[in-house]
């Protein structure tokens, strides 16, 4: 049975020699900018936080910040890809515990994401919307709900909230893979991917809120295709 948003992230991670398109919707969603890659090599991406995180009272929160090597907002940003790795892409999900821990995402860091379409302010940590509870992305099995990619010039920040009636210390698990990629620039090959002849995983970057994206300089200019083209390719994959 199709698991949809609750698909374990381990079922979405690519293998070596598989193709990947990163898609960036253009304002209005009539066109999409794409960059195409092949995974040359990979290594598992796995990081847990437990004792490093602050104990939260009922209704307590940790505001949006980077995930550091010594805690949230402390140490080096582990989801920052340095300039010397322009073709490294981190692909991961986040599991959390307990189930009443709520996770919020901002990508880019100044754009808190929302799934709603009415006129609404950007979500804040603690809002009763636009969060992912630990019950839907468990610590030992992160799901598609938290799927993200980061690369040089694009990272993500996260916030946490205690929605229970008790005090607890939240735990996080980042699980996925780091890819070293070869960029595909051959137009004929990319057309075969878009036509469904060559298999490819297509990932739209960020969320529904529009943002001006930036990529490593060596990626060059994107290929711009119609939204209908990319949607047809996504249906065929």
How far apart, in whole angstroms, are the C-alpha atoms of residue 203 and residue 190? 15
Q: Does residue 200 lie within any of the structural domains?
A: yes
- Could you give the maximum distance between any two Cα atoms of the chain, in Å? 58
- DSSP code, position 14: -
User: What does the block give as tokens for 49?
Assistant: 């936080």
- Per-chain mean pLDDT for the chain: 92
Number of compact structural domains in the chain: 1
What Å distances lie between residue 181 and 47, 104, 197, CA to CA?
22, 29, 21
Residues 6+ apart with CB under 8 A from 28: none
Q: Answer yes or no: are the C-beta atoms of 225 and 29 closer than 8 Å.
A: no
How far apart, in whole angstroms, are the C-alpha atoms of residue 221 and residue 56? 45
Residue 1 has a pLDDT of 38
| Tens-digit pLDDT profile for residues 18-68 | 999 999 887 667 888 999 999 999 999 999 999 899 999 999 999 999 999
Q: Does residue 139 lie within any of the structural domains?
A: yes
Q: Does residue 211 lie within any of the structural domains?
A: yes
Q: Does residue 5 lie within any of the structural domains?
A: no
Identify the CA nearest to 152 among candidates 193, 194, 180, 188.
180
Q: Answer yes or no: are the C-beta atoms of 128 and 71 closer than 8 Å.
A: no
Q: Answer yes or no: are the C-beta atoms of 96 and 141 closer than 8 Å.
A: no
Domain that holds residue 222: 16-236
For the entire predicted model, the pTM comes to 0.93
Q: Does residue 11 lie within any of the structural domains?
A: no
| Tens-digit pLDDT profile for residues 139-193 | 999 999 999 999 999 999 999 999 999 999 999 999 999 999 999 999 999 999 9
- DSSP code, position 9: G
Highest-confidence segment of 30-34, 105-109, 173-177, 208-212: 173-177
Q: Does residue 7 lie within any of the structural domains?
A: no
Q: Is the pLDDT of residue 123 over 90?
A: no
Q: For helices 187-194 and 227-236, what crossing angle results, to 10°?
A: 60
User: What does the block give as tokens for 75?
Assistant: 């140490």
Specify the residue for token string 């995983």.
Answer: 201
Identify the CA nearest to 84 among candidates 219, 182, 216, 183.
216
Q: Does residue 171 lie within any of the structural domains?
A: yes
Instruction: Among 41-45, 90-94, 118-122, 222-226, name the one with the lowest average pLDDT.
Output: 118-122
Q: Does residue 172 lie within any of the structural domains?
A: yes
């Amino acid at each position: 049975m199709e698991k949809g948003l609750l698909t374990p992230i381990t079922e979405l991670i690519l293998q070596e020699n598989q193709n990947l398109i990163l898609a960036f919707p253009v304002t209005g969603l009539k066109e999409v900018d794409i960059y195409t890659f092949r995974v040359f090599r990979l290594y598992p991406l796995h990081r847990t936080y437990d004792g490093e995180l602050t104990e939260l009272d009922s209704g307590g929160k940790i505001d949006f910040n980077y995930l550091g090597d010594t805690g949230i907002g402390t140490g080096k940003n582990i989801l920052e890809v340095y300039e010397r790795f322009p073709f490294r892409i981190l692909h991961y999900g986040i599991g959390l515990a307990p189930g009443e821990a709520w996770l919020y995402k901002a990508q880019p860091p100044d754009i808190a994401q929302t799934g709603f379409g009415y006129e609404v302010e950007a979500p804040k940590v603690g809002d009763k919307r636009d969060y992912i509870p630990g019950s839907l992305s468990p610590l030992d099995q992160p799901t598609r709900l938290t799927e993200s990619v980061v690369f040089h010039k694009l990272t993500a920040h996260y916030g946490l909230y205690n929605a229970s009636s008790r005090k607890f210390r939240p735990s996080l698990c980042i699980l996925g893979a780091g890819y070293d990629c070869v960029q595909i620039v051959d137009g004929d090959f990319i057309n075969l991917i878009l036509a469904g002849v060559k298999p490819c995983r297509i990932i739209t970057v960020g969320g529904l809120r529009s943002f001006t994206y930036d990529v490593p300089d060596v990626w060059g200019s994107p290929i711009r295709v119609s939204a209908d083209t990319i949607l047809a390719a996504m249906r065929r994959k």
